[in-house]
Amino acid sequence: MVEKLQLTPLNDLEHDGDLWIATGEDPQFLLSPPSGRYPGGWSLIRFEAEGERTELSPVLYVDSGSGFSEAASYSASVYDAGRDGILLRLPEKVLALRLDPLSGRGRFRIDNLRIERIGSARAVWRRISPALARARRVPRLVLHYVANVARIARSSGLRGVLRHALHAPAATAGGDYAKWIRCYDTLTAEDCTKIAARISAMHAKPTISVVVPIYNTPERLLRRCIESVLAQLWPHWELCLADDASPAPHVPAICEEYARRDRRIRFTRRETNGHIAAASNTALGMASGEFVALLDHDDELAPHALYMVVEALATQPDLDLIFTDEDKIDEYGRRHEPWFKSDWNYDLMLSQNAVVHLAVYRRRLVEEVGGFRSGFDGSQDYDLTLRIAERTTSDRIHHIPFVLYHWRATSGSVALSVDEKDYPYEAAVRAVQDHLDRTGRAGARVERQDHPGYYRIHWPLPPESPRVAVIIPTRDKVDLLRVSVSSILTRTDYPTVELIIVDNGSVEDETRKFLHELEKQRSVRVLRYDKPYSFAALNNWAVSQTTAPLVAFVNNDIEVITASWLSEMVARALRPDVGAVGAKLYYPNGTIQHAGIIVGIGGLAGHPHLGLSRNEPGYFGRAACAQSLSAVTAACMVIRRDVFLAVGGFNERDFAIAFNDVDLGLRLNQAGYSVVWTPHAELFHHESASLGPPTDKRRSRQFEEECANLRRRWIDVSSNDPFYNPNLTLSGGDWSLAFPPRVRKPWEAECGVRPGLEF
């Protein structure tokens, strides 16, 4: 049954003929059914709306007895509201419904508002249809969804699957950032009261100097920048403003106005224009705080930004570098494009500036390295971070997984488009190359990638390339094996390869004939392993059969694409700080199968960027940049033999078949080694076509046991992989938002509830 809803203005609204005028910042309507009773259960609310030179962002609020709150809010685009409607599950007792058509002032119309109660079957379809649409675009996601459904069905049956479809948090690709902000990133009066209490109880109260170089900033944006510092909940700051000889007279006038208003604000005006590095140094020269925070002249800090920095210092007072998550903010104050970052990730830092905003440094170290360097304008902060990192250790670099910085996206800014300016990227190349040279990476060379802002390091090989044992387990499936072996022998440019084929019980005549032919080749060895199949035991045994200083674990369904794949992986694996190196693997159709492993995805461990097209950079370049990760797949992995043996090889007892590579990667991290994934070693992977999925009861039972082993052994990592982010979903590898996040707000007594699996 469809019922019309009546609009009653509650706040900041006036009628103007056929239009409504939002007269204030918080326009609100009350929605009332003529019958006086709202339908309970699953419902669709539809309406047509259009803004007059303004963007509408409708949000529905439900009051079921506790008042209106963000937790009981539902947002939708005007297009969705008019076409499919806003799906919401109303409690049986609804006291009121409220509609906020937009944030801020504006003129608009809204018509044909109605509500329809629907059954559970239609609701289920509405919940799963976005997932099905994604699966049509990326067919390999079907496997992920089927696995999730099977896991739920095993524990809860069909009713459990339906219950999950109806009640699990829904997440679309990219997520609903506006709703996420309202629910999890909007400070209430109660939050501010709790933060004030925590600040009052703190013993150490360090001063943070906020350094701002200024040049010809538009008046409105400069004021918003300064006001965002004045609004800080942490009171112990100083704002150091340096005007780089701006021609616009309003710039020094505004800065002097604020300096007169608040004694914590310091201002100086340079006589000549020296560009951003020189202006930053001028601002830095005024700083007296123990720590220095960098703020661009038209950007904004979140009100709790500096407080959160001090919270981190209260736990780890020896921190030298602190950085946070960030998003972009447009000229109208609308936030978008959040960047939820990895914890400190050295290899990713060489591939892009993975710190950026907000960055806070111990001032003593900034002064020791000489501050900002002229000649690196546009990437002066990238250069500074690399030089600071050389003076400290990774345990003294801390990432705060909160959006505490809003980067202004305006015409002409790098925030709006990476193509707006080119000079920062050339400066970045010089900064990274200087870092490599200073730190003794002899022969390492940096170059720009096709995607602006991303870089590739060419790591050198020694004059005499060390021998690599390429270990390929196999059992029949000779067509796959023939392609794999041929591609390795004919398309690999690495000069010293020992190919070890481990035959685990092949019975087909054609396979045996092919293996016999391979044995005649000087660079190939065929070994027989007649024990029951165990990936871990088989490969551990194979490693014991070679003296090669490096081993490459390669599946028999791998096909080489780039000739330099092994050279690329070996060069990285030879670095003393690196434990294992993984490659970029594609399905035969050219979409991504493997771009590293994130622990916790799907409840266990999963592959991010699954199904993404080959040349797409992925989430903030994470599919195009070499980086450290918790693990990489052993379908194509290179590791030094001594490191492999030192950590005990693959765990044969707990991970004979599955997750042995995940466990190995985590143990390497635990032992102080990095696990590096490189997108510059490219191969096809036919996805376990030889072994196939577990089908018999014994193998299925073993797989379930190994799933349990992974959860038990690595429970601390499974909900917060340091190379992922607790604000991102664990229900898949598409980097969408987590509803709710898995991160604790320090002023709250309890953590949020972990989200379940999402469709």
Pairing of strands 359-362, 300-301: unpaired
Residue that wins the pLDDT comparison between 323 and 37: 323
Rounded Cα–Cα distance for residues 202 and 204 (Å): 6
Sign of CA dihedral 484, 487, 493, 497: positive
Q: Which residue has the higher pLDDT, 570 or 78?
A: 570
> How many whole angstroms separate alpha carbon 16 and alpha carbon 23?
11
Beta strands in 409-461 (DSSP E): 445-448, 455-458
pLDDT digits (tens, 9 = 90+) for 352-377: 999 999 999 999 999 999 999 999 99
Quickly state the pLDDT bin for 716 (edges 50, 70, 90): confident
Q: What is the pLDDT of residue 696?
A: 67
Angle of helix 423-438 relative to helix 380-390, nearest 10 degrees? 10
Q: Categorize the per-residue pLDDT at 719 as very low, low, confident or very high, splitting at 50, 70 and 90.
A: confident
* SS3 (DSSP) at 1: coil
- How high is the pLDDT of residue 752? 37
Q: Please give the sequence-ordered ranges of beta strands (E in DSSP) within 641-704, or none if there are none.
A: 674-685
Confidence of residue 695 (pLDDT cuts 50, 70, 90): low
What pLDDT does 703 receive?
85
Give the best-scoring range by mean pLDDT among 136-150, 588-602, 678-692.
588-602
Tens-place pLDDT, residues 405-461: 999 986 555 544 444 568 889 999 999 999 999 999 889 999 999 989 999 999 999
Q: Find the mean pLDDT for residues 54-77.
A: 74
Angle subtended at Cα 493 by Cα 488 and Cα 497, rounded to the nearest 5 degrees = 60
Whether residue 358 has a cis bond before it, omega within 30° of 0:
yes
What pLDDT shows up at residue 399? 98
Task: Give the pLDDT score at 53.
Answer: 62
Please tell me the predicted confidence (pLDDT) of residue 758: 32
Structure tokens at 237: 């700051």
CA angle centred on 605, ends 146 and 160, rounded to 5°: 40
Which position has the token pair 């997750």? Answer: 659
Q: For 727-744, what is each residue's pLDDT tens digit?
A: 998 877 789 898 889 999
Q: Could you report the per-residue pLDDT of 306-323, keeping only the tens digit for each?
A: 999 999 999 999 999 999
Residue whose structure tokens are 């303004």: 54
The predicted-structure confidence for 5-26, as pLDDT tens digits, reads as follows: 888 998 889 888 888 998 887 8
What is the pLDDT confidence band of residue 130, given thresholds at 50, 70 and 90? low
- Judge whether 591 and 517 are in contact, CB under 8 Å: no
Distance (Å, rounded) from C-alpha 632 to C-alpha 644?
14
CA-based torsion, 511, 512, 517, 523: positive or negative: positive
pTM over 0.85: no
Q: What is the mean pLDDT of residues 459-474?
A: 96
Which residue carries 């040049």 as its tokens?
215
Q: What span, in angstroms and rounded, lies between the C-alpha atoms of 596 and 665? A: 11
Alpha carbon distance, N-terminus to C-terminus of the chain = 28
Rounded to the nearest integer, the mean pLDDT of the chain is 87
Question: What does the pLDDT average to over 517-527?
Answer: 93
Cis peptide leading into residue 755 (ω within 30°): no
**CB-facing half-sphere around the CA of 417: CA atoms within 13 A:** 5
Burial class (CB in 10 A: 0-12, 13-18, 19+), 244: buried
Minimum mean pLDDT among 81-90, 269-278, 365-374, 666-675: which range? 81-90
53 CB burial (10 A radius; 0-12, 13-18, 19+): exposed
- Say which residues have a Cβ less than 8 Å from residue 576's Cβ, sequence separation at least 6: none
Lowest mean pLDDT among 106-115, 348-357, 563-572: 106-115
